[in-house]
Structure 1
Amino acid sequence: MGELIKVTVKNDQQLVSARDLYKGVQVTTRFSKWVEQNFKDFIEGEDFTSVTGVTDMPNGGTRPIQDYALTISMAKELSMMSHTEQGKKYRKYFIELERKWNNPMEIVKRGYSILQNENTKLKLENSEMKPKALFADAVSTSNTSILVGELAKLIKQNGYDIGQQRLFKWLRNNGYLIAGNRSDRNMPTQKSLELGLFEIKERSFQNPDGSVRITKTPKVTGKGQQYFINKFLAKKEA
């Protein structure tokens, strides 16, 4: 996959420049207006941060300009919201970036690199446990929360056969997600939130008629990923 846009990594999170994305998706609105119209649906400090970029001057010098560092998740949504052919292309590119970033082996590599940089030695009792322990440590260092479906894939890739629907059912039956025919079905229970296993991602969108629509999505934290993977690995070995 060739590089469509420059991606940087900070605090174990992939980021792209808002100005680079703005140029790439080829919207006709000026940059400041594009930001004003689209950024209101996102959270500063979580989805994006304000940064200072530079632009080239005709005399060969540079001058500072306002820019923003965007998460891949936000960049993907902005690409879709652009309603351009290039926007579709960038959205597919970001989906592939996320898929590779959340690949278990990539998580292991990042986690191992973090541990090495901190001069932390992994104390593992035997070679059979090494991949599992390394994976668990790598996940626990991740700042990225994932969807329940993505957790199901991680668990399956680590040897326990389970799909998204079966995992949702197991989480409800075991008191981690709310069960029953309720409006908050599949939302984290108070126990899950207090343990730090889940977080709720809340977004507000303005409908064409002017009303506001709020969506809530349960996401599994790094701590939750480690917790549930360990639980299913233990079930496999029992």
Structure 2
Amino acid sequence: MEIVNTNRNGQTLSSREIAEYAGKPHSDVMKAIRKMEKSWVEVNGGNFSLVEYTDGKGQKRPEYLLTKKESLYIITKFNDVARAKLINRWEELEQQAVNNQFQIPTTLSGALLLASQQAEQIEQQQLLLQQTNNQLQAVSTKVNEQANQLKEQAHKVTFADAVIETGDSILIGHLATLITQAGFEIGQNRLFQLLRDLGYLGCVGEKKNKPLQHAVEDGLFELKYSEYLDNQGKRKMTTVTKVTPKGQEFFINLFKI
């Protein structure tokens, strides 16, 4: 399975391939990356690239795309065998890049072939340039429309910030609305799934959709308890997961584009 992607103008490896090298479930690797990301941001000032892929069942799942530097940092969490495999993988990718570099032909037929290829490349570049000019002309006609869209998006972000500043904890469904208003369109059910996959909410049994202990300790969630009377007049307890103002800001910044 090839999981090499191109991102941020360079080669990357996905967290799924790192999980294969480490011999760990992908969910465990995702949790490890998320915990190590805080220190990375403090030193380098940028988050890891969080994207989505479609699994074998056609469902959207999160994964990280990591550069060589980032992946070598993450693999320190695991064993020596995993590190050796990852280093070999990067050496293989770099060697492939070297092999694909330009080579000077040593025969007349090779030189003629190279000249033909270069002429074809020039023709393709000229065609691409013409297409680019056409695209620029089309884009210029949409400047006003884009400016209006930017104003609308700024209004949405301002609205989300205003809601956070009220200091109230909100439901997951309300958080999905704020994230959508910040530019990343997502519904309540999909947000629940992502929060479970990323290790913020429980996945099974009574803990499903309940915040995990570390998420509560980090101040991202809180549980609201209330009593009600059932059909037989007995008192029952119910719990509701709510996102704190700190959690709202954290998740909006995590997902907004």
Q: Normalised by the shorter chain, which TM-score bucket?
A: 0.3 to 0.5
Q: TM-score, structure 2 length as denominator?
A: 0.38
Q: Greater CA radius of gyration, 1 or 2?
A: 2
Q: TM-score, structure 1 length as denominator?
A: 0.40
